[in-house]
Amino acid sequence: MRTRGTFAGRSTERAADPDACREAALALLERTRRTRADLGRRLREKGYAEAVVAAVIERLAGVGLLDDVEYARAFIAGRWGRRAAGWRQIENDLRRRGVGAADIAAARAGFIPQEGSADEAAMARRVLAQAARRYAGLESRVRQQRLYALLVRRGFDSDTIQRALREGGESTES
């Protein structure tokens, strides 16, 4: 009897079977690109032993079927420009998905935005333009504080925020 990803009855023999674990991993990778952490978590949830999972992940990474840097590059390319978010938010999303700091840095260093896509400052200005209408009736200082806080939540760094506020006609003096 199988219940929620575990192997009742045959748990010890199946949990230690690297071939079954590899097949399960390939089936998961067939559906969507995954990080090493996500794949490992899912395989452990299915009842595979930690040592077997680690060996399968290393083997898949060794043959190029599992690559956190490539995952991060694809994630960045998918997010960039489509969703107005700064690097900080994109990096936090990748960390939540289990991508390590070195892999994130490598993916970011190799990222070249497509021609015509916005840079980070342009994305911040776009967020400001949309939000400025919402805060139009507020006193200038309060409006600026709310706009600044909004951009921080979206993952933009302080320099980008200051520049976007200046270029958007908002005072940056506190």
- Residues in the chain, overall count: 174
How far is Cα 158 from Cα 26, in angstroms, rounded to an integer?
42
Q: Rounded CA gap, 143 and 141, in Å?
A: 5
Architecture of the CATH domain 120-167:
Orthogonal Bundle (1.10)
The predicted model scores a pTM of 0.70
pLDDT at 119 over 80: no
Q: What's the pLDDT tens digit per position in 34-92?
A: 999 999 999 999 999 999 999 999 999 999 999 999 999 989 888 876 667 788 888 99
Residue 54 C-alpha from the chain's centroid:
22
How far the first Cα of the chain sits from its last, in Å, is 65
SS3 11: helix
Q: Where are the domains of the chain?
A: 2-62, 68-109, 120-167
What is the overall mean pLDDT for the chain?
Answer: 84
Judged against a pLDDT cut of 70, whether residue 159 lies above it is answered with yes
- Burial status of residue 42 (CB atoms within 10 A of its CB: 0-12, 13-18, 19 or more): middle
Measured distance CA(4)–CA(129) in Å, rounded: 47
> Which of 24-28, 58-62, 135-139 comes out lowest in average pLDDT?
135-139
Mean pLDDT of 141-170: 88
The pLDDT value recorded for residue 173 is 54
Q: How far from the centroid of its chain's Cα atoms is residue 40's Cα?
A: 17
